Structure formats: C-alpha cells, structure tokens
Structure 1
C-alpha cells in the first residue's frame, strides 16, 4: 500500500508573526520557516504505518515555492521514501489557495495511485481547514477528518475522530483520505544519520504548468492587522466585587 502525504512550508510555530507595515499580509523576510505541525504529524503516522507493515511506500508532496524542498527533505529524514515538489509560485508571500492545492494533489494522486492520503487537518498560517475535504470530494473518496487514531485492516481504515462530544470511531474503505489532529501521535526528531540519508533520496520537481492547473487566486486579502493588545488585569477584594466586575465586562 502506498501512502501520499501533502506537507506545507509555514512560519515556524515558535516565531511570532509580524504584519507588514502596509497591512497587506504577514512579513516573511528573514523569518524561520518549517513544516506545518499538523503535516508533521501526518508524516509520522504514515511512517509508523509503514514500519508496522501496513504500507510499503510513503511519498510526500509540497506545493509552493522552490524553498519548500527543504521541508520535503525534513519529511524524508523522518522516514518518507520519495518526495515531489510542485513549484507553483516564485513569491514566498503568495499562498496557494486550498482548492488549487486540492486540484494539484488530485492530479498527483491519479498518477501515483495511493491507497491512502494522510494530510494535516489545517495549516497554522491560514487555518482554513479545507484542503483535505476538498481533495476527498474531487477524488470521490471516503474521508475521516480530525483523526486521533488510525488502524488499517485489509481494505478498510478504522479511524477514531475527535468531535465536540468526545470521540467517534468510523470505518472508511480504501482508497481514503485522513486528516491528522494533534493527538494522533508525537512526531519524531530526525536523527543526523537520517538527515544525511535524506539527501540521497529522490526528490522530483515539476511545475504547476505541467499539470495544467490554474492557481490564480480567487480570494483577495483586503487587510491584515495585529490582534488587539490585552488590557491589564485588576485585583478584587471580595467575591461580590468579582461578580460586579464580570457583569460590567458582560461575562455574566
């Protein structure tokens, strides 16, 4: 069984984003970039399934700028077998929208014929949480989103999902798409020997034009602004005063 895992290059989660002075977006100049944390969890799960004998190959794919090759190398160092980079832009500030990403991955899935696609539930830069669902719809596959546990039994994937009321367990027939939630696993650190081995693993590059897919943006960012600063707290002398202050704030 082959597993396909899409990964995205985003601002490192330890970095505090800065808004551009003109408010047109986030400033990415000289900012540390890394793999989207949810995608890292997806890669880890795919590698674990391969180590357990449920999969034979793990292929990772990234769509965006040329620099995303570094993100793919990280995935290869974690244990993926091959990587595909689809160069869709030369501007690091341009984000490829979910529908365009889904169309590109659909084209790659038709070429690679994976039995399972594991994707992060969302990217931490735009939080759209849409690519996985769109991709499943375009492929006509069953989907299991917000997965906290994945088990493969023959041609069926048994997935435990995180829902508002607790946990829900469903079964989907393969081929299928799963989106990874935070509690699915804890990604491993790539060891130095594996980082060196990753440099020799195949990384195929192609352009979005070769796939014949239009990635022209459908959305326009009107403005971006910093969140409002938090006001200083106050100390209260009694429960009655606390209740009064909460009522003033509209909490009660």
Structure 2
C-alpha cells in the first residue's frame, strides 16, 4: 500500500528533484484501495483462515495509509521506514518490498495497478521477478481456489481469463470493485491492530542499494507546468462555422 501526496494538493519537487512530501498532505493511494478490497473479498469467500497483512514503504506519516487499510478490515500491518530509502526508484522499491514480503511470509501478494504519484505500473512485475513467482497483472476480477489464483484481464478488443499457482503476485485495476468505506467499528478496531516497523538492517539491505545513490533512474531537470492560457473565443456572426473549421485545421485536428 503506497502513501502518496494528495493529488488535489500543491505538489512540487524538492531541491534534489524528488517529490516534496513535507508540504502536502498524504493519503493511501486510491488505486491501492482496490487491492485491499479484493484481499478482503478473498478472505470473506474463503473457507480457510486468511490473514491479510498490509505493507508500505515510506516516512513516518505513511502509517496513516496502513491505518486506513486496517480500518477497512486488514488484520495487521508492516511499515518499512529508513532515511536511506529516500529517493529510491521503482527497482529499489521492488527490492525493499520483496525482502519485506519474504520476511513477513505470504501466499498471495495483491497490489494496485499503479501508484497515483509515479503511475509507472511496473512494481508488481518487478516484485514477482524478485520473488521468483508468477505474476497475473491488471485484473478486473480475481478469485482464489484450491491453491490457484484466477482472474480476468480486460483489454480494448478482448478479455483474457488468466490463472497461476500460488504463491503469486497480482495487481488489480480500478474496475475490480468499489473499495468499501471504513466503518466506525473498523476505525476503532484498527487502533488495536499490530503495526510492525522495520528498517533496512532488518531486511539485510545495504543503504547503497537503494535511495538516490542506488537508483537506476535519475531526474535531470524539472519545471513548473506553464500557466493555462485563455482559449480562443469564436463569436458567431455568420462566419462562426468557418472560423471554427479554420482553427481546427490550424491545430491539425481536421
């Protein structure tokens, strides 16, 4: 579960060209809420005892994202926090997640299709590769039965029915089912649920393998988005259609 800057806030880059997370409110990534919902539904539909652990990598405030997931119904949480993680790219993030997931133990990893800040959508695949397990990504429907995870992936022209043996990694889209709102009872219960805190030493990860120093990608420059300019107003005094056509042709729309 990723703790991300609020998309409605005034987001900008810090001096080191990483996202400035101190001057904007954060929250649980909306796309990851769908993953929590699917985990809860799998648990509710299972005859076995299912334990849902939510995991995040981020600063102290990232616990807010975990508490949101716990209030929805997850059982326990793991928070990986370490100053040396600052500036980690997708490859480094997948390393930290993989080590934490292996330490926690798992049968099925469920994530959102992408984060709402980076929107790269590659971490589930990277994670599956590091764990050495099958990946079934971008599912709009998911279920688990007899040691197999099954799901439907919807494309522009067709839908695919996919399955993989457990353990596995899956990601779900925003079409997989509306995430539930935490109830008052769930919010109160979340305060008593366990949240473990780990750092890089707990995961046997060296600082130089993550953070800005260990990143495989780098941001060379960033600039503020230009202010929106006023649009072209066409007054229809008998020639409006012609002027509109000329404008569209000038923009190569027609």
The answer, yes or no, to whether TM exceeds 0.5 is yes
Superposition misfits of 4+ residues, deviation over 6 angstroms: none
Which of these two proteins has the greater Rg computed from alpha carbons?
A: 2
**Counterparts of 2:159 and 2:230 in 1: how far apart (Å)?**
38
Aligned to 1:180: 172
Summarize the Cα distance change of 1:137–1:90 in structure 2 as closer, same or farther, 3 Å threshold. Answer: closer
TM-score, normalising length: structure 2:
0.86
| 1:29 and 2:22 matched | yes
Aligned to 2:40: 47
Shift of 1:109: 2.8
Aligned to 2:56: 62
TM-score, normalising length: structure 1:
0.87
| 1:130 and 2:125 matched | no
Shift of 1:117: 0.5
Uncovered stretches (5+) of structure 2, i.e. residues with no partner:
none
Summarize the Cα distance change of 1:230–1:60 in structure 2 as closer, same or farther, 3 Å threshold. Answer: same
**Counterparts of 2:162 and 2:39 in 1: how far apart (Å)?**
19
Cα RMSD over matched residues?
2.2
Match of 1:76 among 31, 55, 70: 70
> Does the residue aligned with 1:105 lie in a helix, a strand or coil?
helix
- Asked if 1 retains the 8 angstrom alpha-carbon contact of 2:84 and 2:210, the reply is no
The size of the alignment, in residue pairs, is 243
Summarize the Cα distance change of 1:40–1:147 in structure 2 as closer, same or farther, 3 Å threshold. Answer: same
- Asked if 1 retains the 8 angstrom alpha-carbon contact of 2:18 and 2:87, the reply is no
**Counterparts of 2:170 and 2:62 in 1: how far apart (Å)?**
23
| 1:156 and 2:158 matched | no
Summarize the Cα distance change of 1:27–1:101 in structure 2 as closer, same or farther, 3 Å threshold. Answer: closer
Output one character per residue of 1:88-128: Cα deviation in whole Å (capped at 9) or x when no partner. 3278xx34322222122222332333221001111111112
Q: Of Structure 1 and Structure 2, which has the larger fraction of its residues in strand?
A: 1
- Asked if 2 retains the 8 angstrom alpha-carbon contact of 1:147 and 1:160, the reply is yes
**Counterparts of 1:113 and 1:242 in 2: how far apart (Å)?**
62
